[in-house]
Amino acid sequence: EFYTTSSVHPPIGLSRHLCVLCQPEAPPAPPPYTVRVYRPFLDSSVRSFGQWITAEDWSAVLSVQDVDEAADLLEGMVRQQYEVHFPEQQQRMRRENKPWITARILRLMDQRRRAYSRGRMG
């Protein structure tokens, strides 16, 4: 019920057994994954945010008489620049990844795999 009708083919090579081929009715579903959202704090991002915050003209915040309005204005300005300098990134995490397998470990594993495929195993 899960496979199409099978077909019998001649043996491969010197084998005495016939080959039986069958296909699944539906392709296997890819493993589900979760999406982790994070904001990386790169040195360049921290420097650019620091340059903005030191060069910004804060007279708009200082000229507001109401403390609550000034706090809201300040928070809005900082949040907007925070989102510009530290954009959200998404990482797909498959279920088979163990909790201790971090992005750094995956990156190192990928580097090892690429070096091995190039023939540089040392």
Mean pLDDT score of the chain? 89
Residue 39 lies in a domain: yes
Residue 27 lies in a domain: yes
Is the pLDDT score of 94 beyond 80?
no
The number of folded domains in the chain is 1
User: How far is 55 from 37, CA to CA, in rounded Å?
Assistant: 30
- Evaluate whether residue 2 is within a structural domain: no
Residue 32 counted as domain residue: yes
Residue 121: pLDDT above 70? no
End-to-end CA distance of the chain: 51
CB 89 within 8 A of CB 38: yes
Structural domain boundaries enclosing 98 = 7-118
Predicted model pTM: 0.53
